[in-house]
Chains A and B, each alone.
Chain A
Amino acid sequence: MIPERLLIFSAAGEEFALNLQEVCEVMEPQPSYPFAGAPPHYLGLINFHGNLTALVDLGMYLGKGGRGAPGKLLVLDTKLAHLALGVDGVSSIVSGETVTGEAPGEEPLIEARLETAAGTVRLLEVEALLRGLEEGLREAPPRPQP
């Protein structure tokens, strides 16, 4: 099902979309503080209105790009998670009604490929993204090295 409104953004040079309802705020980059034991796509922690929020480089997590300074931070709805995604930039917000075509997403975390006036975008499935990130943390907990 196509969301009512979509936030179109780019990460590692590719176009993605999120259901606008799942995004709480688009922020300028801000200082983040490193923490130990997490995989490298975790850039650190930021303070989002008092919530300690993990900052993840989305392009890097998707295996599409190196660790670079993000252009924008997409903070997910705090009811869903305490997570901000570092992306290259945000291009627009479009109505779901303007989507002219829909095909199933053939990659993990991608719910669908959508044809919009801005071109083809891949709709991210937030729950799958969160589950994947959690799985990654469980696989690489900080443990004493031999």
Chain B
Amino acid sequence: MDMTQYKALFLSESREYLRAISEQVVALEQSPSEPGAVDTLFRGAHSLKGMAASMEYGEVVVVAHSMEDLMARVRDGGLKFEAGVADLLLEGVDLIDAMLNDVEADRPVTPPPGDYAQRLAGYTPPPPRKKAEKAPPPPAAPASPEAEKAKEAPALDAGTVRVKTELLDHLINLTGELVTNKNRLLNVAREAGSQPLNDAVSETGKLLRALHDEVMKVRLMPFEAICDRFQRSVRSLAKKSGKEIQFEITGRDIGLDRGTLEQLVDPLNHILRNAVDHGMEESAERAAAGKPEKGVVRLCVSRDRDRIVISVSDDGRGMEPQRMIDAAIRKGVLTPEEGEFLSPRQALMLSCIPGFSTAREVTDVSGRGVGMDAVNAAIQKLGGTLEIESEPGVGSTFTLKLPMTIAIIHALVVQCGAVKGAVPVTAVLRTVELSRRQIETVGKRQMFQLDGETVPLLSLNRVLGLPLGRFPNGILPLFVTEAKGRRVGIVVDRLLGQHELFVKPFGRPLSRMAGLAGGATLGDGEIVTILDLADLL
């Protein structure tokens, strides 16, 4: 029987089981007194083995079988669930994940290391420490949210169907085209001066917005889909650095656009790794500072109207704004005069400048000054913003604010010479009409005052390599955005207003062009490019 037609389904379901196993292993390690969770873990490996056997992927069967046996020993009370068991199971998850990648790429499946099955079969836990023998048995801890979660099996819900992601993308495209055409009709209605037509199109617009929202909901995936990677990452780094960390995730069920979710993994991982590696003190240092020996890192996801807010906070050593400014001056990123103008918030954002790092030590995970600028750029590419708050000795919080959707956006359309460009409104802090009299010159830079802060000016024409605009009436239109942690006034020839745009990605060759995040069609059929400010500035 030809099983290739079931390959996609096998891969999708297997990865779900792997994700569930991975999450449950970490959860069990925190709350080992959950027999129900062990059963669920056992069933996950068993189902995975069964599916692989029916698809004749023998290597996957061997690994899943070994994991199943180990879990059976735990379930039957022959083995206590502890870190060694968790390590072996997570190793199995990684092995199977690599095999699934081989299956997906139609490559021969990489066989597992010869001793993996033996190590699992012959595993005995390390002898307990003497100190632990003296201690009274710990009371049964209340089930943590992680363990509660672990009780739930990754079951197929009879009320759901699997839909290919291409179909969802196609639905979004169609909805986007309808939004573009609605804008075109609005233009026609305005030109024709027909109120009934205008009303009908406006009503259609509301229905389209509702349709768009529903289609977007279908594309949403719970944040949980990527949680296991963070748990693994924090666990492994805490182990490596010898720090005691309690990692908490809230808001797992908050839905994010599939595309956004995929692109959040690396930035969030980086922030979390920084929090563990640099933010968190060693236990002894914490105790000396009167803090609990175990540090807490929290990853919280919430929804604020049409935005997703993700924060990573730690109760570690925090950051000192003045130290950031001093480092920036030392590295030539700032002049001492510029340093004086920086607010504490701006000083913390200096960490997002390429090559900037105040880490005293370079480790294999962070401190190379190549991280936070990439994180900030990735967030801005998604139309989001990054804020950093920190208090020395108390901890730091990194907050990401992201739009719910990246397909249909509200954008500020601007004109520079003969070119029109669009900037997502999420990247626009405000628009300003500036009189030439308000411009100050500091060194070689032109600046202006905004809310008591000195903000540098930059010409978008210059950035785009276009002839500079002339402003015969002495008024410079500009929008304020944030670049590399600082507010910047971007001068344009004209501000053309806010538009609802359906963003389309470019194909070859423009997909390789820096500074463009796609394009969109305005109501009059004109095409504008979406400017990627993070890339351009």
B505-537 toward A: CB 8 Å interface, digit per residue (1/0)?
A: 011111011111011110001111100000011
B529 touches A137 (CB 8 A): no
Kindly identify which residue among A36, A82, A143 contacts B419, using a CB–CB cutoff of 8 Å: A36
Across the A-B interface, the 3 shortest Cβ-Cβ residue pairs: A82-B507, A36-B464, A141-B514
Given that A78-B507, A82-B508, A142-B465 are contacting pairs, would A33 and B527 also be in contact in the complex, using a CB cutoff of 8 Å?
A: yes
Q: Is the CB of B509 within 8 A of A133?
A: yes
Query: Whole-angstrom distance between the alpha carbons of A22 and B51 in the complex?
Result: 42
Query: What are 25 contact pairs spanning A and B, CB under 8 A?
Result: A31-B525, A35-B419, A36-B529, A37-B465, A47-B525, A50-B173, A50-B177, A51-B507, A52-B504, A52-B506, A52-B520, A54-B506, A54-B510, A80-B508, A81-B508, A81-B509, A130-B509, A133-B509, A138-B512, A138-B513, A141-B513, A141-B514, A142-B514, A143-B463, A145-B462
A38 within 8 A of B: yes
In this assembly, does B221 line the interface, its C-beta being within 8 Å of a C-beta of chain A? no
Is B264 part of the binding interface, using a Cβ–Cβ cutoff of 8 Å?
no
B512 lies within 8 A of A137 (CB): yes
The residue that B464 contacts in the complex, of A31, A47, A130, A142, with Cβ under 8 A, is A142
State which of A31, A47, A80, A145 has its C-beta within 8 Å of the C-beta of B465. A145
The 8 Å CB contact of B508, one of A34, A37, A134, A145, is A134
Contact B528 A54 (CB under 8 A): no
Residue contact A51 to B504, C-beta cutoff 8 Å: yes
Name the residue of chain A whose CB is nearest to the CB of B417.
Answer: A36
* In the assembled complex, B421 has its CB within 8 A of some CB on chain A: yes
Task: Give the complex CA separation of A35 and B506 in angstroms.
Answer: 13
B515 touches A37 (CB 8 A): yes
Say yes or no for A144: interface residue by CB 8 A criterion. Answer: yes
The answer to whether B529 touches A134 (Cβ under 8 A) is no
Q: Is A45 an interface residue (CB 8 A)?
A: yes
Within 8 A of B (CB), among A19-75: 31, 33-38, 44-47, 50-54
Residue of A nearest to B507 (CB): A82
CB distance from A59 to the nearest CB of B (A): 17
Chain B residues near A137: list those with CB within 8 A: 509-510, 512-514
Knowing A33-B527, A37-B464, A47-B527 touch, does A144 contact B458 (C-beta < 8 A)?
Answer: yes
Q: How far is A36 from B515 in the complex, measured between Cα atoms in Å? A: 10
Q: Nearest Cβ distance between residue B23 and chain A, in whole angstroms?
A: 39
Interface membership of B466, Cβ < 8 A: yes
Residues 458 to 484 of chain B near chain A (Cβ within 8 Å): 458, 462-466
CB of A83 within 8 Å of the partner chain: yes
Indicate the size class of the contact surface on chain B. 35 or more
> Which residue on chain B has the smallest CB distance to residue A141?
B514
- 8 A Cβ contacts from B418-468 to A: 418-421, 458, 462-466
Other A-B pairs beyond A80-B508, A137-B512, 20, CB < 8 Å? A33-B420, A35-B529, A36-B416, A36-B419, A36-B529, A37-B464, A38-B510, A45-B527, A46-B527, A50-B177, A52-B520, A53-B507, A54-B506, A54-B510, A82-B510, A134-B508, A134-B512, A142-B465, A142-B515, A144-B463
Contact A130 B508 (CB under 8 A): yes
> In the complex the two chains form, what is the Cα distance from A37 to B514 in whole Å?
9
With both chains docked as a complex, state the minimum distance between the C-beta of B330 and any C-beta of chain A, in angstroms. 25
A81 CB to closest chain B CB, in angstroms? 4
0 or 1 for each of A114-146: is its CB under 8 Å from B? (1 = yes): 000000000000000010011001100111110
A62 to chain B, nearest CB (A): 15
Give the complex CA separation of A37 and B528 in angstroms.
13
Distance in angstroms between the alpha carbons of A54 and B536 in the assembled complex:
20
Tell me the nearest residue of chain A to B509, going by C-beta.
A133
Given the interface pairs A52-B506, A141-B515, the reply to whether A47 lies near B521 with Cβ below 8 Å is yes
Task: Please report the C-alpha to C-alpha distance between residue A50 and residue B179 in the assembled complex, in whole angstroms.
Answer: 13
A110, B239: Cα distance in complex, Å: 58
What is the chain A residue whose CB lies nearest that of B503? A52
What is the distance, in angstroms, from A15's C-beta to the closest C-beta of chain B? 24
- Shortest distance between the CB of A11 and any CB in chain B (Å): 18
Q: Note all chain B residues with C-beta closer than 8 A to A53.
A: 507
**With the chains together, A50 CA to B173 CA distance in Å?**
9
Residues of B within 8 A of A80 (CB): 508
- Residues from chain B with a CB closer than 8 A to the CB of A145 are 462, 465
Closest to A145 in B: B462
Chain A residues closer than 8 Å to B416, beta-carbon distance: 36
**Residue of A34, A37, A50, A81 touching B513 (CB-CB under 8 A):** A37
